[in-house]
Chain A
């Protein structure tokens, strides 16, 4: 039946607007509730944005499985070139770059800002270095390990440093942080459910007489509950929008300093804000939490209201 569906839709739309009208009638109380939800959601959301950025900044590092081969300081530049040539013949090596001690010192002087202090050195403390890039097939933990052992066994090689080690550590740290964000998010999400639930509970207590009258003229619990569910949805939407606003603001505040910091490291890195998808996702989550909180409270407390 077309008419019945239309009536039903119209009724829901009316309740939706009506419940919005009702909650904006108490702007202060509504702002407090929405504010609490916004703060609760903004925290995990912001942490998530930072985490995404860290991952984005380090994603390229994951692919550079370079070995830094530091030679004995006595070996000399020629020996370094010779070793490079020797390593290039290996099946599992794609490229070898030589950084001579002089070059390393010059780079360091330019990048570190210690120019004057370095002039005081009589002697270059830096060794010659070979940066060995393995072939893609060899870029596995086992392949890398084998290459490392082979290179370390070559005379005049002082230390071989696997650049992936700290990347792996970083990834492990990021994993822990990711879990932490999830946990924080789950706890704060529960907080949102409780806050909305409590607000709705008080709302129901205030409108007890009205619910009683509705039940007396034949309203089902579902009918009496509906406006409260919509209130919960509005609270969730308001809180979600607030959270997105807070995060957008925080990213805007941080963007320049981060760019500056990245610039100091010679990086083009830019802080990435909240994507559309994430924003939509957080809004849906917020609405869902608001709905859940109001559903739990309304189902329980409306059942308890019986006309006498």
Chain B
């Protein structure tokens, strides 16, 4: 599903975020990216969502080399990935249901179908009663769940999340993680960047530890070792 092959990422300010990262995540896996802040977790996710491009090396998503995706093709590419952000990135001027519907509207899904799928997604995150609320009327944990509903509403096969529990107290954080686990249970590949090691200890899942732009350790199934080196 995801393959990083000797990926380097240097930002225009000269900071080298990734220095030769290689790993592979299989379809249907749940994987945690961990490491200190600045270790390169966010950069990995940005490369997956094509928010950034690698300076060197190659990133394959779903068998497709991201280098072959032209700027015009980026919107279409992103539609196959659900993304959850630490700061939710919701649109605060419209109700919860409209926020969740956004990916479907963009994809041109018919209205009746949208209503159905939005309610299904809100039901999955336990917010069916809040569909008419504005995001700011909700708690932080609820807002994060709206973000998750939006990420899954278009039924992507890949779900990525950047510090989704960063602002939450431990109970809520666990709840959110269990929510991600439920999506993984039905076959969605889930990649979560987090520094909360204690939290992910409770999940038997793949773990990729990054340190200063390199893969420091990997645990769990399907370790991928660069065949050429």
Residues of A within 8 A of B (CB): 3-4, 6-8, 10-11, 209-210, 212-220, 223, 306-308
Contacts and interface: CB of A to CB of B under 8 A. Distances in A.
A213 B107 contact: no
Interface string B123-151: 00000000000000000000000000010
Given A6-B110, A10-B111, 11 more contacts: A4-B108, A11-B105, A210-B93, A213-B89, A213-B90, A216-B85, A217-B79, A217-B102, A217-B103, A219-B75, A306-B51
B110 A218 contact: no
A80 B128 CA distance: 104
B106 A307 contact: no
Nearest to B77: A218
B78 A218 contact: yes
Contacts of B76: 218
Contacts, number: 54
Contacts of A209: 89
A197 B111 CA distance: 32
B109 interface: yes
Interface string B73-84: 001111100010
A218 B73 CA distance: 10
A223 B91 CA distance: 16
B75 A307 contact: no
Given A219-B75, A307-B51, A214 B108 contact: no
Interface in B61-114: 75-79, 83, 85, 89-91, 93, 102-103, 105-111
Interface string B111-125: 100000000000000
Given A210-B91, A308-B51, A215 B75 contact: yes
B25 to A, nearest CB: 21
A304 to B, nearest CB: 13
B209 to A, nearest CB: 25
Interface of B: 49, 51, 75-79, 83, 85, 89-91, 93, 102-103, 105-111, 150
Contacts of A212: 89
Chain A CB within 10 Å, residue with most, of B90, B105, B107, B109: B105
A307 B150 CA distance: 17
15 contacts: A3-B110, A4-B108, A7-B109, A213-B90, A215-B75, A215-B78, A216-B51, A216-B78, A216-B85, A217-B102, A218-B75, A218-B77, A218-B103, A218-B107, A308-B51
Contacts of B93: 210
Closest 8 CB pairs of A and B: A218-B79, A218-B78, A220-B75, A217-B103, A7-B110, A219-B106, A218-B75, A213-B89
Which secondary structure characterizes the binding site on chain A? helix
Contacts of B77: 218
A100 B166 CA distance: 106
Contacts of A213: 89-91, 102
A7 B111 contact: yes
Contacts of A308: 51
Contacts of B107: 218
Given A217-B150, A307-B51, A8 B108 contact: yes
Contacts of B150: 217
A220 B110 CA distance: 18
Nearest to A3: B110
Given A210-B91, A307-B51, A308-B51, A217 B83 contact: yes
Contacts of B83: 216-217
B111 A214 contact: no
Contacts of B79: 217-218
Contact of A216 (B49, B108, B109): B49
Contacts of A217: 78-79, 83, 102-103, 106, 150
Nearest to B89: A213
A10 B106 CA distance: 13
Contacts of A8: 108
B85 to A, nearest CB: 8
Contacts of A223: 75, 106
A307 B93 CA distance: 19
A240 B78 CA distance: 40
B110 to A, nearest CB: 5
Nearest to A217: B103
Given A213-B91, A307-B51, A218 B108 contact: no
Contact of A11 (B85, B91, B103, B108): B108
A132 B51 CA distance: 86
A6 B108 CA distance: 10
B108 A7 contact: yes
A217 B75 CA distance: 8
Nearest to A209: B89
